[in-house]
Amino acid sequence: MIRSDGVRVVVLAVVALALAGCGTRHAGDAADGPGASVVTPSRPVDFPCPGESTTPAPPPTTADSTVPPTDHYAENHGFMVPLPLHGQTRCDGLAAVDRVTSALEPLRRRGDFDPANTLTALTALGYAPEKVGAYQNGPTGVSFLIDATPLCLEGTMDRDSTAADAFAGYPDHTGCDRPTGGH
């Protein structure tokens, strides 16, 4: 009798394990019906931001993305590559870039490349002075960096243009300043 109870317990445990998956459905199962499968993206999905064209830009191709490096440069310096923004934060970044370039464009047109005036224009947008840096780039250029976590904004202003870019920081580093050193 003890033996049969032991066998019965084992059989019941095996049956319970076998039935545990019953009723579970997975994306793409035939029972989902045509066109009902769920796709899980391997990277974040972006949507068009206000004022942005709905025509998708072709993905950038560089030597680093198409040919594996033989000297491990890209592998060893990946921590210095800024993280892209996605979703609503990407839209917020694009809007911030527009505000920053609009605020600096009058300075550029006047030929005012004084970092102090650049700092004044950027803090007038509401950025805290301790979170904004402006640096001289020769006699006719200024670089700037704004830490507006979770956004980072950096750019340049010179005789020809005012340019800014928004990103989400760096992989192995807190803050918006580009990390130095190596792995």
Q: Tell me whether residue 128 is in a domain.
A: yes
Q: Where are the beta strands (DSSP E) in the chain?
A: 132-136, 141-148, 151-158, 162-167
- Tell me the residue range of the domain where 103 lies: 83-167
Query: What is the Cα gyration radius of the chain?
Result: 27
Instruction: For residue 98, tell me if it sits in a domain.
Output: yes
User: Is residue 54 very low, low, confident or very high in pLDDT (cuts 50, 70, 90)?
Assistant: low
Instruction: List, as one string, the DSSP characters of 61-105.
Output: --HHHHS--SS-HHHHHGGGSPPPP-HHHHHHHHHHHHHHHHHHH
Which pLDDT score is estimated for 21? 47
Residue 176 lies in a domain: no
Q: Residue 62: what pLDDT?
A: 45
- 72: tokens are 């491990």
**Within a domain: residue 13?**
no
Q: Is residue 142 a part of any domain in this protein?
A: yes
Q: Which residue has the higher pLDDT, 84 or 3?
A: 84
Does the residue 52 lie in any domain? no
Tens digit of each residue's pLDDT (9 = 90 or more) over 147-163: 998 999 999 999 999 99
Residue 24, pLDDT above cutoff 90: no
Residue 40 pLDDT > 80: no
Please tell me the pTM assigned to this model: 0.65
Residue 42 lies inside a defined structural domain of this protein: no
Q: What is the pLDDT of residue 163?
A: 96
The more confident residue out of 73 and 157 is 157
Q: What's the one-letter identity of residue 102? A: S
Asked if the bond preceding 179 is cis, omega within 30° of 0, the reply is no
Neighbouring C-alpha atoms within 13 Å toward the C-beta of 3: 0
- The tally of domains found in the chain comes to 1
pLDDT mean across residues, the chain: 76
Q: Residue 135: inside a domain, yes or no? A: yes
169 pLDDT higher than 60? yes
- Cβ-based neighbours of 100, under 8 Å, separated by 6 or more: 122, 125, 144, 146, 153, 155, 164
* Among the listed residues 173, 176, 171, 121, the one whose alpha carbon sits nearest the alpha carbon of residue 148: 176
Decide if pLDDT at 9 tops 80: no
